[in-house]
Chains A and B, each alone.
Chain A
Amino acid sequence: MRIIDCHAHFGEFSRTLVLQRDAETMISAMDRAGVEKLCVSSFLSIGPECKTGNDMVASAVRKYPNRFIGYGVVNPNRPQEINGELKRCFDELGMSAIKIHPAFHQYPISGSAYRQVFEFAAARKLPILSHEWGTPQFLWDLSAEFPVVRFIIAHVGFWNGRDDFAYREVLRQRQNVFVDLVYSNIYYNALERLIGMIGAEQILWGSDFPLHDLPYQLGRLLYANLTDDQKRKIAGENMLRVLDLEA
């Protein structure tokens, strides 16, 4: 089984201790857990400074191209910098996808600055991982307007594991929308119920590593009541498809 982590980070994090802060220590943890590749954005990028954070990620990707896949991050509060930084990320730094964090940057996903990001992603046919996507209607409209963009809903859309899952219809109807499993609270039987609603083809495994423990987040998948085929898809095959890499 190939394990591709669709949602990981790099560097320090002001809100708590991060023990595994450099590429080599992270690779050691990946090897222990059997994780092949990490898709990473820098904590610095989703925090105060995108450019330096993007440089940190690019450095790790250059050094370990088979282990790290880079997310380029931009800050919507400085809209005049967005297009330039995105071009730098994809023309010079070797990034493979875009990550945005409306919550940390305290800027609404429906704000005008993010239009530049969506249009850039469409022009380059890139995936976008966002911490949040606002209302299901917003993502419904956006995924229709930009059908070549793969939209990844982070943190299971903050689903509580019990209700109908707000993005259910969007995922059922839009093949370019995916959801990642990264969440600190892993509710009993929630993954099995999520698959019952939307199937396994659009679910991506991720961890928030090195904030969260890789095996802990893997445990929800490995010990779930699923078929081996479903586990393989979620563990890595789906994300390889999102990235246009061979499964």
Chain B
Amino acid sequence: MTRKTGLLEFKGSPKQMPHGSLFDANCRLGNSEFSISGAPTTGTELIAEMDRLGIYEALVHHAWASGYSPMLGNRMLLEELDGHSRLHGCWAAMPHHTQEIDSPKEFVETMLVSSVRAVRLWPTVHRYSLADWSIDGLFGEFNLHRIPVFLDFNRAHWAENVTDYDQVARLCRTFPDVPVILVREGIGSTRFLYPLLGRFSNLHLEISYYQASGGLADICRKFGARRLLFGTGMSEYAGGPAIAMLQYSEISEEECCRIAGDNLRELLAEVK
């Protein structure tokens, strides 16, 4: 069958994404060390690119939060989001022991007052431990409020061993009310991910880099579509690949809608 993708006629069987269904769980605003000229770095520019790709909403963090200062990046993010109702904030967090961020209780109170309902951690970039003596105070507060935590181990290639899966398992076990979302896991992660997904129902996978052929359908069959969140990695990475993978996966329309955005909407709605 020949169908129109919206871009070019070719043979294949894509799913038509319902309008408003795509909610990108992994977007960045602001310039990073590697931002190129023309990449969307402001809210207005990002929304223009989202419109071109058919993405309705996005969860965004600020590049400075990972590359310069978490608290300054978080403030910059709030300024950039002002007036953009389709963009939702995701704050950077880290352990508070060095007093670079507020105490866990104050940090969470401030983020919720600021309408931010998700956090992102870069334990390798920011150089701290996910062991209990370092991170459990923060996660205890996240657990009380059911705050989704995006864990970014700064993976540059699928063959790298950068993710601390033992600590991921410990955090999922110790804090069962925290939705833990692994960001940019690749095809080389599958043998780590399957036992973790089988054991911990609060573990999720953001799919912007998980391009295992048939992988989305296999995870849906084995662990359920609730475990997957659509994301692109813009503006460092192109948005089209993850959209096409979702459109052509051998999954039901219902599973597709869950991954496209319903799962993330539910996680954000459950924040207390």
Contacts and interface: CB of A to CB of B under 8 A. Distances in A.
Contacts, number: 140
Nearest to B236: A188
Contacts of B191: 16-17
B interface: dominant SS: loop
A219 B39 contact: no
B188 A32 contact: no
B236 A34 contact: no
Contact of B244 (A17, A29, A211, A219): A219
B238 A186 contact: yes
Interface string A2-37: 010000000000011111100000000101111110
B135 to A, nearest CB: 28
Report the contact-size class of chain B (Cβ under 8 Å from the partner): 35 or more
A222 B9 CA distance: 10
Nearest to A232: B8
Contact of B188 (A15, A20, A218, A222): A15
B29 to A, nearest CB: 13
Interface in B187-230: 187-188, 190-191, 209, 211-215, 218
Given A184-B187, A188-B236, A188-B237, A33 B211 contact: no
Max chain A C-beta neighbours (<10 A), residue from B13, B14, B214, B234: B214
B214 A215 contact: no
Interface stretch (B120-128, B151-159, B258-266): B151-159
A230 B158 CA distance: 29
Interface string A183-223: 01111111101000000000000000111111111111111
A211 B186 CA distance: 11
B186 A223 contact: no
A200 B20 CA distance: 34
Contacts of B240: 186, 219-224
A218 B249 CA distance: 13
Interface of B: 5, 7-14, 34, 36, 38-39, 53, 156-159, 186-188, 190-191, 209, 211-215, 218, 234-245, 247-250
21 contacts: A16-B191, A20-B214, A32-B250, A162-B34, A184-B186, A185-B209, A185-B237, A188-B36, A188-B234, A188-B237, A189-B38, A209-B213, A211-B187, A213-B211, A213-B212, A213-B245, A215-B249, A220-B240, A221-B240, A222-B7, A222-B240
| 5 smallest beta-carbon distances between A and B, as pairs | A223-B240, A34-B12, A219-B244, A215-B248, A219-B241
